[in-house]
Structures are given as structure tokens and as C-alpha cells.
Amino acid sequence: MTSPQPATAALQALVLATIEEMIPSDATAPNVQVDRSKAGFSSDFQTPAALQLAKVLRRSPRDIAADLAAKLTPRLGALAEAPDVSGPGFIGFRLSDDALQGYLEALSAAEHLGLEQAGGEHIVIDYSSPNVAKRMHVGHIRSTIIGDALARMGRALGYRVIADNHIGDWGTQFGQIIYAWDHWLDPAAYDSDPVGELQRIYIKFQTEAKEDASLMDAARAELAKLQAGDERNLALWKQFIAASRHVFDAVYDRLGVVFDVTNGESHYNDMLIPLVDKMHDEGRLIAIDGGALAVAFGDQDIERPKRMVVRKSDGAATYATTDLATVFYREQTWAPMRCIYVTDSRQKEHFQHVFSVVRDMDVTTDLQHVMFGIMSSPEGSLSTRAGNAIPLDELLDEATRRARASLEERLPADFDGDKDALAEMIGLGAVKYSDLSNNPASNIVFSWDKMLSFEGNTAPYLQYTSARTHSLLAKAAAAGLEPDGTTLKLADPLERDLLLHLMDFGPTVRAAFDQGKPNTLASWLYDVASKYHSWYAACPVLRSEDRELQISRLNLTRLAQRMLVRGLDLLGIGAPQRM
Ligand code: ARG
């Protein structure tokens, strides 16, 4: 069965068609909004369309509302009852029980739970992207978690997502690391923690170079050798990449994060000179101090025209040059409809500039920067600086340890499942969700207690709710009761409220993906859980005498369960059957 058009979209279309008949042919119809009615209204949805029309029609909004409602009534057919008018002119819609039953049936049978499917267009998502020879810091954790959620949502919506890990595997730092390797490496430390040791000697280089400027020249010489293809330096560089990727991969495995390609910065090396030459030939470049070249973009007639350096005075390309080449490479390779970059907000300007430059060069790919703020804790221990001191795996270990401790207190004595696996699922889920439940743009204050709570807007609460639905359905099955996916009996306003909310799964995932805001899905899931608990408290399932009502309630439970499990999965979070 194909999924039905979401109710809001269906109502919106009907209101718009009716309005178009009411306004003069040369007037433009207002942007019609249809929203869920607030609690306390007998309607399910409301629109302020009549208020918006008052100016165009020069009549009182209430008058227009009455007129619009009357004209809408025949059009609504079996979808809704006759609309009501309230307040200054709001029109309220109440779906018919038949229509609600149709939604329940369609959603229960729909292959994608009502997620409208795109046509397999390519979307590139550039995320995680840590730097070789450095520990992943908190910024990379956020990028990894948010990017992975976007990749999962994109795939669920029928796109061909290319998850691209744009690792930092090229640049001046490699000359410095090679110099440091030759002078200060502790081989035993490197064996046990290669990335930690590379980071240590790199920092050591920075400190020493402040005292002795000649080190910079020596490092530049190593870099020049590397760039010229010197065998030993190339081998070292490759070894740094391999060692770092090994460590990154362990983290990705644990988090369940998968990339389609890992085209690091070095992947674009051969494309940089031709690109700069081409831009030069097209007259886009301006020579600035000391022989550097910059590309001019945007409005050049203003007082401080915009420029972005693409070739430094020593001839080297920049991070920006690589990003320009990356846009063109992706366009040629996948012709994506969109490319999403997930980094912290400090790169806001960088991407604004890159996007403007390539738009001047006729790139039509939709380029979107999803940026996020800083993560900190009340003790300050997760600040970006100190974040380097808390490696990600230690953070994950701690989350798992705490989840395990809380499980020990909660689980019944006869629990025979795998407690370690469960603790890992809850611990990692809590870490991910505490990030994803926030608007990416805001800074996060990280709190263990809040994160691992079984109440409130947390992953354990959602996981617990889904586990509750499993145990209810198992008990029902043992009593010979199974959801049938069609029966709907609405005996309590809370059942209606729950179903109306579940009907929003598709539009919610769509909005979360398009706006680059996984928190939109997170808060929708939180509302599913809260509504489910209120409903369940008021509407007994197994204790009810009425068999039709029982089946109807099992249908709601089953749908809520599938959406909780799928929704959590879209956030990269597992949902246990028991906890
Ligand atoms: N490696 C960069 C960093 O650690 C992030 C790269 C983001 N992606 C990009 N195409 N520039 O800050």
C-alpha cells in the first residue's frame, strides 16, 4: 500500500484550492498554514487562512472564515467533519474516524512507515573529517554523530547518500611531524598509542619551534621532500595516515558509523594547480602581497571586496583551494543535488566564501553548511581544549560503565539477556542523544546525570518506552491477541492525540533532514514517548473487556513501537527489547 498524503498537506491543498476561487484573479493567495490544534480544542488542525485573507478581501476575518468553512465542507468529503470557526477567525478541522482509520491502516502497511521516497538522487554528506596524527576532539565527535544521523535520514528518504569522510591528511604539519619523528619519537609509546604519540611529538615541535626558529626551516625542507615524492617521507606520511585511520575506524565501528568514501584532502592534490590555473585564465584571480593569489568573489564594488587566498606566496595551495577542488570533483563524480558539510561554527565564514566562489563559477549543486556549537560540561572538562584530554573512547567507556551501574539497580534479578551489550547500547545511545536532542547551532552543556536519566528527554527514556511496547505486545500475544493493522476504535481523546502525532513521522523526518536538524526528530520521538505513556495510563489494553478496543490499542502500540525503533535508528541509536 502506498502511504497516504500527510493530513496537513491534504488539508493545506484543499484550503488553497478554495481560497483561489474566493480571491480576485489578479491577487496572490497567502501562504496557507495548517497546524495541529493546541490542547483543549475539539479540532485536530487549525488554519489562520481567513485572517490572512482579510486584507485581500477587505472583509472581517470571521466573515471570511464562515464563508471559507462553508465552501470547504463539500470538498473535505470523507476526510473531515464540517469545519468550525473560533476566535477571531480560525478554522478548525476534525478528521473523521474513517479517515483516521484509513491513516492507521495505510501507515501500518506502508513499507517506509509513511516516509515519502525521493528518486535516488545523490546527496554527499561531508562529516567527521578528523585530522591525521591528531586525536579526534569533541568537534569531530559532534560532526560524526550529527552527520551520521543526517546520512541515515537521507537514505531513509530515498536518496543515494555518499557519506564522505574528508580527513585532514595533507598540509604543512606533515613536515613538522616528520621532523619531530626523527628527533623525539618514543617508539614504545608509538606502539601502544600511535595517534597519541604523534600528537605528542607534534605539540613538542610547536613548543620547541617557538625557541628555535630554525626548526621551521628544517620542517619546511621535510615538507618539500614529501611534496617532491621523497620515498622515505612518503612512506612515513602513509604510515601516519594508516595508523590514524586504524584508530578512527575503531571509533566508527563502535559507534556504528559507516562511510562510503574517505577522500581526504590529499585526494585532491593533483587537482589544485590545474584549478588555480583555470581560475587564473578566467581572470578570477588577483595578485596580493608577496606573490600570493586570491580569488575575488561577491560584490567587488564595496569598500572591502571579498577575497579568498588560493595560492600562498610560497606557491602552496590552501585548505580553501582544496575545498574548491572538492566541490568540482564531487559535482563531476556524482552530480549530487545537494552537498552537506557538517563542522563547527568556526568554519562558517570559510564555507560561505567557498560557496560564493563556486556559485560564481556556475556550480548549481545545493550547498548546505550544517554547523554546530561548542560542547562543555559544568566542570568545564569537555571544553575543546580539555576535550583533547578526554579521548572519545574514554568518554564512551565512561557512559557504558555508568549505564551498566544503573542497569544493575533496575534490572529484575531474573534478567537473562546480555548486560554488557545492553549497557553499551544505552551508554552510546545516551551520548549520541544528548548531542542530537539539541539544536546543532546551540552550545551544549554536557551532564552525565541528565544524559543517562530514564526520565525526561533522554535516550534511555525512549529506549525504555520502546522496551515497554515490546513487553506489552509479548504479553498480548501470549493471551492470543495480535495487532491486525486495521482495527481502530477511538474511545478516549488520548488515543486520537497519539495517532495524530504518529501520523507526523514522515513530515518530521523530512523537515529534520532538510533543515539539518536531527533535534526535530528527537523532540518528536520524545513526544511519542510522553504521549504513549499518558495514553497507556488512561487506556488499559489487556485489562479492557472489549476485544475490538484491545486490538485497536495493540495497533496503536505496534505503530508507536515501530516508529520509536525506526526513529531511534535514524539517530544511530539502538532500541533493546528489554531493559
Ligand atoms: N579536517 C577539518 C577540521 O578538523 C574538517 C573538514 C571539514 N570538511 C571540509 N570539506 N572542509 O577542522
Between 579 and 302, the higher pLDDT residue: 579
Please tell me the CATH code under which domain 122-270+326-381 is placed. Answer: 3.40.50.620
Instruction: Give the number of the atom of ligand 1 that is nearest the alpha carbon of residue 319.
Output: 11
pLDDT in tens, 287-297: 987 889 999 88
CA of 341 to the centre of ligand 1 (A): 9
Cell of 262: 574517505
CATH classification of 392-570, choosing from 1.10.730.10, 1.10.287.1040, 2.60.40.10, 1.10.10.10? 1.10.730.10
Q: How far apart are CA 315 and CA 79, in angstroms?
A: 67
CA dist 166 and 81 (Å) reads 54
In a 10 Å sphere around its CB, with 0-12 CB exposed, 13-18 middle and 19+ buried, how is residue 189 labelled?
middle
Candidate of 141, 241, 347 to mutate for ligand 1, largest count of ligand atoms within 8 Å of Cβ: 347
- C-alpha cell of 195? 595517534
Tell me, in angstroms, the distance from the centre of ligand 1 to residue 131's CA: 8
Burial class (CB in 10 A: 0-12, 13-18, 19+), 338: middle
Q: Which residue has the cell 528489554?
A: 578
- Return the best residue to mutate from 150, 166, 265, 350 for the ligand 1 pocket (most ligand atoms within 8 A of CB): 166
Share of residues in the chain with pLDDT > 90 (%): 83
Average pLDDT over residues 154-175: 97
Q: Is it true that domain 7-95 has CATH number 3.60.40.10?
A: no
Give the separation between CA 360 and CA 567, rounded to whole angstroms: 39
**Is the per-residue pLDDT at 390 higher than 80?**
no
User: What's the confidence (pLDDT) of residue 577?
Assistant: 93
Cβ neighbours of residue 564 closer than 8 Å, sequence gap 6 or more: 462, 465, 466, 469, 525, 528, 529, 575
Cβ-based burial of 575 (10 A; exposed 0-12, middle 13-18, buried ≥19): buried
pLDDT of residue 197: 95
In this prediction, residue 138 has a pLDDT band, given cuts at 50, 70 and 90, of low
- Mutational pocket test of ligand 1: of 125, 129, 358, the residue with most ligand atoms within 8 Å of the beta carbon: 129
CA 47, chain centre distance (Å): 30
Cα angle, residue 370 at apex, residues 366 and 376 outer, rounded to 5°: 175
C-alpha 115 – ligand 1 centre gap (Å): 31
pLDDT band of residue 240 (cuts 50, 70, 90) is very high
Give the whole-angstrom CA distance, residue 107 versus residue 287.
61
Q: What is the pLDDT of residue 385?
A: 44
For residues 126 and 144, give the distance between their C-alpha atoms in angstroms, rounded to a whole number: 10
Distance spanning both ends of the chain, measured CA to CA? 34
Q: How would residue 413 be classed by pLDDT, with cut points 50, 70 and 90?
A: confident
* CATH 1.10.730.10 segments of the chain: 392-570
Q: Where are the beta strands (DSSP E) in 322-412?
A: 338-344, 366-372, 375-376
Q: What is the pLDDT of residues 522-533, one digit of tens each?
A: 999 999 999 999
Sheet with 338-344: list strands edge to edge.
Answer: 160-164, 122-126, 338-344, 366-372
Q: What's the confidence (pLDDT) of residue 1?
A: 44
CA-proximal residue: ligand 1, atom 5 (nearest) = 129
DSSP of 185-197 = --HHHHHH-HHHH
pTM of the model: 0.94
What is the per-residue pLDDT for 535?
97
Across 107-127, average pLDDT: 95
Question: Please, which contacts does 331-336 make with residues 24 or more away whose CB atoms are closer than 8 Å?
Answer: 331/363, 331/365, 334/122, 334/124, 334/162, 335/122, 336/121, 336/122, 336/123, 336/124, 336/162, 336/365
In tens, the pLDDT along 78-116 reads 999 999 999 999 999 999 999 999 999 999 999 899 999
pLDDT of residue 386 exceeding 50, the answer is no
Q: At what angle do helices 392-410 and 419-436 cross, to 10 degrees?
A: 120
Mean pLDDT of the 233-245 span: 97
Could you tell me if 168 and 347 are in contact, meaning their C-beta atoms sit under 8 angstroms apart?
A: no
pLDDT in tens, 543-558: 999 999 999 999 999 9
Paired sense of beta strands 45-47 and 35-36, if any: antiparallel
Residue nearest atom 11 in ligand 1 by C-alpha distance: 323
* Cβ-contact 457, 522 below 8 angstroms: yes
Q: Is the pLDDT of residue 387 over 50?
A: no
**pLDDT mean over 277-302:** 89
Contact 345, 373 (CB under 8 A): yes
Instruction: Please give the distance, rounded to the nearest whole angstrom, from the Cα atom of residue 394 to the centre of ligand 1.
Output: 23
Please tell me the distance between residue 242's alpha carbon and the centre of ligand 1 in angstroms.
18
pLDDT of residue 380: 62
What is the maximum alpha-carbon separation in the chain?
Answer: 87
pLDDT score at 79: 95
Q: Where are the alpha helices (DSSP H) in 161-230?
A: 173-184, 187-192, 194-211, 214-227
CATH 3.30.1360.70: which residues of the chain?
7-95
How far, in Å, CA of 395 to CA of 415, rounded?
A: 27
Average pLDDT over every residue of 45-50: 96
Whole-number pLDDT of residue 517: 98
Average pLDDT, rounded, for the chain: 93
Distance from Cα 122 to the centre of ligand 1, integer Å = 21
CA angle 221, 226, 228 (to 5 degrees): 95
Q: What is the mean pLDDT of residues 318-339?
A: 97
What is the pLDDT at residue 450? Answer: 78
**Residues across the chain:** 579
**Which residue's alpha carbon is at the smallest distance from atom 4 of ligand 1?**
130
Q: Ligand 1 mean position to 168 CA, how many Å?
A: 7
Short-list 476, 123, 179, 490, CA closest to 331: 123
- Residue with the smallest CA separation from ligand 1 atom 3 is 130
For the segment 278-303, the average pLDDT, to the nearest whole number, is 88
Ligand 1 centroid – CA 130 distance (Å): 7
Please state the atom number of ligand 1 nearest to the C-alpha of residue 341: 8
Cα 320 to Cα 174, 264, 341, 350, 354: the distances in Å are: 18, 14, 14, 7, 7
Helix H, strand E, coil C: the string for 458-478 is CHHHHHHHHHHHHHHHHHHHH
The mean per-residue pLDDT over the stretch 233-258 comes to 96
Average pLDDT over residues 346-367: 95
Query: What residues line ligand 1, using a CB cutoff of 6 Å?
Result: 126, 129-131, 166, 168, 323, 326, 341, 343
